[in-house]
Amino acid sequence: MDPVFLLGKSEWESVARLSDYNIPYSEFILVYMLEYNEKLLEVSRRLGERYKIPVLMIPLPFLWYKRLNGIKKLRDVGPLDFVKLFMRAKLVVTNSFHGTAFSLIFQKPFVPFAHSRLNLRLKNILQLYNLEDVQLTGNETSTDLTEKRIEEILLRTAQTHEAPNSELERVIEESKRYLDNAIEAVKRGGGN
């Protein structure tokens, strides 16, 4: 399990509270994408219009953003600020594993898009939450991305925490045990 899941929601909230980043809105949609995806941006803009709240993006320095009409790029977002933005977002649109992970940790409704090359971890975590069928590819036509379909995805992702997820808990505990055993082995001088 990715280490981000080894801390619980309340522990990540404590991390987020260390940020002094000034978020100028009380409600916003957060966009975090690791590769440019016009459909992801289209869905984000439509959600901003539907909910009448701003759409904010955590930009990556190596990505060139074409048309961001209606989406505001944030500046100088550090690691603590990143966590705070996910904690405070009303909903998230992402094609990133960590964008998906923090949406799940903070129990945010989100729209997950596939990453064209780095999608295995995204698929795996969505499967642990029984959400593998909500991921969009970005190849959908505008008629496929109906308001009804997007609202169904947001509802499904928002409901992931209504019932305990024993498989997720098992994987997290197994990961913690593995790390504890590895640390003990190193302390005893015999670990790889």
pTM attached to this predicted model:
0.89
* Residues 28-43, mean pLDDT to the nearest whole number: 93
CA count, 13 A, side-chain hemisphere, 34? 15
Specify the pLDDT at position 68: 80
Which fold is adopted by the domain 3-161? Rossmann fold (3.40.50)
Specify the pLDDT at position 191: 52
pLDDT in tens, 93-135: 999 999 999 999 999 999 999 998 888 889 999 998 989 999 9
The sign of the torsion formed by the CA atoms of 12, 33, 93, 28 equals positive
Q: Which single residue is written with the structure tokens 């999608």?
A: 119
Specify the pLDDT at position 60: 85
Give the least confident one: 22-36, 71-85, 143-157.
143-157
* Residues 142-171, mean pLDDT to the nearest whole number: 84
Counting Cβ atoms within 10 Å, is residue 42 exposed (0-12), middle (13-18) or buried (19+)?
Answer: middle
Q: Encoding tokens for residue 77?
A: 């977002």
Domain boundaries, the chain: 3-161, 163-192
The conformational region for residue 189 under phi > 0 = left, psi -120 to 50 = alpha, else beta, is: left
Specify the pLDDT at position 164: 65
Q: With pLDDT > 70 as the criterion, what percentage of the chain qualifies?
A: 95
